[in-house]
Amino acid sequence: MRKILFIVLSLLLVGCAPTQQSAVVEEIAIPTFRPTSTAEIDLFAAERVALAFLDAWQRQDFDSMYSLLSFNSQEAYPLEDFREIYIASQDTITMASLSFQPRSILRIGTRTVQLYYDVSFDTNILGQFSDTGRTLTIILDSRATDWQVAWSVADIFAEMGAGARLEFDSSTPSRANIYDRDGVVLADMNGVYVRVFVVQNDIPNLDVCRRTILDTVDVSEARLDAIFDTSQPHWVMEVGTMEATAYQAYRERLETDCDATFDSMPIRRYLPPGNPLPHVIGYVGYPSESEISELVRQGFDAETIIGRAGIERAYDTTLRGRPSGRLSLIAPDGSRLRVLAEASSQIPESIWLTIDIDLQTFVLEVIGRAYSENRIAADGGASWGSISPGASAIVMDVNTGEILAMVSYPFFDPNAYTPFPAIGREVAALQQEAIAEDSRNPQLNRATLGIYPSGSIFKVIDAMAVLDTGIYDEETTYFCSGVWEFEGDRRFDWLPGGHGSMTARTGIRNSCNPFFYQTGFVLNNVDPFILPNYARVMGLGAVTGINVLPEAAGTIPDPDLIRTQYGRVWTYSDAVNMAIGQGEVQVTPLQMVRLYAGIANGGTLYRPLLVRERGILDQRTFVAEPDAMTTYEVSEDAMRIVREGMCDVTTAPTGTARYIFLPYGQAPSPLNDYQGGVCGKTGTAQSPRPEEAPHAWFAAYAPADNPEIAVVVMVENSGDGSAVAAPMTKQIMEYYFFLMDREE
């Protein structure tokens, strides 16, 4: 009888549930028991410890879990080891959370209790899976004089108590492509590096092989030593990678000296060569230390490439998808004991941009050519092309907000920043060094992060505000003598002698500074917040909402900002400076192209869009739905007058850009005969540093009769907007309307 009882107890201690009650073993369904005797009080206390342990696990409070362990368990597993075992196991599972369900509790003698329970794991890759029929043993610890958990690694998964390990087999899908709006490949995984493998037992001479690897393969000496030191002689070891050209040169030597084998590895590459949109498309790289843990939870590893900038970063999870996975318990002999869960991969989706790569390339060529042609002045001295640190240009669809081209100059090759550069490591290293030493900061996206005084392209806001409020009407005039004066404060026009009698329309046409000084002064006298508020309604002083790229908000000053940020009182001087886009006014080119697109379409400010579609091959989803973020409701007359003034800029005899679009003695631009021509505004913004040349702006839309696109060109420290930025805008628009294949 004693022998039979011992067998029953032994079975219970390893987790076998009894089929009937006896005087020694009791089974009580949770939570039906109540403390009515000494034995039941002990059982209740044990149950509280067990549930507290599981609750702490659910909350990921490993310190509380550890405090409930028996003295012997704590001796066997220090706290840091205990915590690391759980964290490593949960990372392997890719666990996001867990829940538990108690099933029953057993008292075994007077000093041992077992809780039967189920656990459900929610994971990032495998979804939800359950492990049922689990057992937690609680003992009356004589040293602690209380109930404690008799813990071992079997309490993570039972098989681990016999030496089994968790193994997650994953298959990571290849990163998806990025295309332009017409399907031209801009980024793919068709570049190739070569992985090199050796087996120590197969190497003819270890010292010779080691020297050969260090001479030919991309691996450091310390890393190579670590690979050999931590590998068994019969293991196949990956010792490093090499470029395709190096593989061709050194394959035979590696095979002879190391009996090496090889495998190809696809790598990220950006097309066309010298990719013209690095600030938009971005690049990939390795994760930072802080990002690795989350990637591992998703089934990736520390070597996974992720988006580090641009579209690659904004759409990183879309482009890389999710790995497939199988979670198993593997016996010490390598056999698979149990499959816990399986999940299929989430297929990566490609991205189609709103960018037209032909247009993007042409815009970049226009800017680069202008810099090259204007490096030397007529007198042999330096011209703006050798002084200006950079430029930007944006082409936007005025009816959708789609960005057709976004150029920041100077630019760089994103291939230089990938972990396995398609241009080769040596070339990439040289390019990275040159970029780091370039004072012009080629990595700055001047289109979205460059902030500048807007100069005269701000004047359309003055005109809109003064006309819409009724303070001026279409016939209101101001005589521009070339000087604006108030209480001894004298400010001059760019044209000596002035422009004579000006209205809002002719003020825009001639970009007459005194007219707009007066306009700002008058608006300020009525209410100093009128002009700042109109500027903000028209999208300045705040981010545009482009989302996929970082952008600056800029600054639109008003009396409150001047008081809080500069500690002084707003005066008329602030107002008249603002009226010509100077003073504390700071804008981005993206804000200005959006503002002018709004004038073209009747007042709607669309969210700028850079992503047109996402999907797999022909299973795409169109995502570039126009998002009208706001509409500035101004009077029809105000909008009409401003538009007419802008159209005069390129066509009227005194228009500030007429000589660019209708040059005297030369053939006019074909744009002038195309549906009303181009409507635009020149701008020459003084740099905050007086020793520097002004910034050149030109903002425009076309065609006048049926607007399609808005273009803004901004060239830092280069001179007049009409002489520098307007010619570039003309070339861009001529290409768009007459030379480029466009969807009709």
Helix H segments across 163-243?
206-216, 221-229
- What is the predicted pLDDT for the residue at 1? 35
Q: What are phi and psi of 261, to 5 degrees?
A: -120, 165
> If DSSP codes are grouped into helix, strand and coil, which group holds residue 213?
helix
- What is the predicted pLDDT for the residue at 618? 79
Tens digit of each residue's pLDDT (9 = 90 or more) over 454-463: 999 999 999 9
Residue 276: cis peptide before it, omega within 30 degrees of 0: no
Residue 717 has pLDDT above 70, yes or no: yes
Residue 31: cis peptide before it, omega within 30 degrees of 0: yes
Are 238 and 196 spatial neighbours (Cβ–Cβ below 8 Å)?
yes
No. of H helices and E strands in the chain?
Answer: 25, 28
Angle at 261 between CA 255 and CA 266, to 5 degrees: 125
Tens digit of each residue's pLDDT (9 = 90 or more) over 512-539: 999 999 999 999 999 999 999 999 999 9
Identity of residue 403: I
Residue 295 has pLDDT above 90, yes or no: no
Closest CA to 714 of 449, 486, 472, 480: 449
Angle at 690 between CA 686 and CA 694, to 5 degrees: 30
Q: Do the strands 112-123 and 95-108 form a parallel or antiparallel pair, or are they unpaired?
A: antiparallel
Tell me the percentage of the chain whose pLDDT exceeds 90.
81
pLDDT-derived band at 19 (thresholds 50, 70, 90) equals very low
Q: Which single residue is written with the structure tokens 């900002």?
A: 561
Residue 275 has pLDDT above 80, yes or no: yes
Tens digit of each residue's pLDDT (9 = 90 or more) over 426-437: 999 999 999 999
Residue 34 has pLDDT above 70, yes or no: no
- What is the predicted pLDDT for the residue at 46? 93
Identity of residue 560: D
pLDDT-derived band at 666 (thresholds 50, 70, 90) equals confident
Residue 12 has pLDDT above 50, yes or no: no
- What is the predicted pLDDT for the residue at 743? 63
> If DSSP codes are grouped into helix, strand and coil, which group holds residue 196?
strand
Are 250 and 225 spatial neighbours (Cβ–Cβ below 8 Å)?
no
Residue 2 has pLDDT above 90, yes or no: no
First to last CA, the chain: 94
Residue 171 has pLDDT above 90, yes or no: no
Q: Cα–Cα distance between 616 and 59 in angstroms, integer?
A: 39
From residue 590, give the alpha-carbon distance in Å to each of 191, 359, 425, 443, 726: 33, 17, 35, 17, 17
Identity of residue 179: Y
Q: Which single residue is written with the structure tokens 């002698």?
A: 497
pLDDT-derived band at 473 (thresholds 50, 70, 90) equals very high
- What is the predicted pLDDT for the residue at 9? 29
For residue 718, how many other CB atoms are within 10 A of its CB?
26
Are 432 and 416 spatial neighbours (Cβ–Cβ below 8 Å)?
yes
- What is the predicted pLDDT for the residue at 689? 86
201-208 long-range CB contacts below 8 Å, 24 or more apart? 201/233, 201/234, 202/259, 203/257, 203/258, 203/259, 204/257, 204/258, 204/259, 205/257, 208/257
Query: What is the biggest distance separating any 2 CA atoms in the chain, rounded to whole angstroms?
Result: 123
CB-based contacts of 527: which residues, under 8 Å, 6+ apart?
A: none
Q: Do the strands 350-353 and 178-179 form a parallel or antiparallel pair, or are they unpaired?
A: parallel
- 10 Å CB burial of residue 201 (0-12, 13-18, 19+) is exposed
Q: Cα–Cα distance between 378 and 184 in angstroms, integer?
A: 42
Question: What's the full length of the chain, in residues?
Answer: 744
pLDDT-derived band at 41 (thresholds 50, 70, 90) equals low
Residue 704 has pLDDT above 90, yes or no: yes
Are 501 and 477 spatial neighbours (Cβ–Cβ below 8 Å)?
yes
As given in the structure block, the two tokens for residue 33 are: 């028991």
Q: Considering the chain, what is the average pLDDT of its residues?
A: 91
Under DSSP, the state recorded for 218 is: B
Identity of residue 472: Y
- What is the predicted pLDDT for the residue at 13? 34
Are 613 and 621 spatial neighbours (Cβ–Cβ below 8 Å)?
yes
As given in the structure block, the two tokens for residue 623 are: 């995502």
Under DSSP, the state recorded for 43 is: H
CB-based contacts of 266: which residues, under 8 Å, 6+ apart?
A: 174, 189, 190, 191, 192
CB-based contacts of 391: which residues, under 8 Å, 6+ apart?
A: 367, 371, 407, 408, 409, 446, 713, 714, 715, 716, 718
Q: Cα–Cα distance between 291 and 307 in angstroms, integer?
A: 12
Q: Cα–Cα distance between 641 and 635 in angstroms, integer?
A: 10
Helix H segments across 14-70?
38-58, 62-67
- What is the predicted pLDDT for the residue at 688? 84
The highest-confidence range among 11-25, 40-54, 522-536, by mean pLDDT, is 522-536
Q: Which residues of 280-300 are buried (b: 16+ CB within 10 A; e: fewer)?
A: bbbbbbebeeeebeebbbbbb
Residue 102 has pLDDT above 80, yes or no: yes
Q: Which domains are delineated in the chain?
A: 2-155 (3.10.450.100), 178-353 (3.90.1310), 405-434+445-739 (3.40.710.10)
Helix H segments across 451-512?
459-468, 504-510
From residue 127, give the alpha-carbon distance in Å to each of 86, 98, 167, 324, 349: 19, 11, 16, 11, 20
CA atoms within 13 Å, Cβ hemisphere of 390: 23
As given in the structure block, the two tokens for residue 702 are: 């076309």
Q: H-helix or E-strand containing 114?
A: strand 112-123
Angle at 707 between CA 579 and CA 548, to 5 degrees: 75
CB-based contacts of 33: which residues, under 8 Å, 6+ apart?
A: 40, 43, 44, 47, 105
Among 19-23, 41-45, 650-654, name the one with the lowest average pLDDT.
19-23
Are 553 and 520 spatial neighbours (Cβ–Cβ below 8 Å)?
no
Residue 590 has pLDDT above 80, yes or no: yes
Closest CA to 414 of 226, 250, 299, 283: 283
Q: Please tell me which residue, 351 or 425, carries the higher pLDDT value.
A: 351
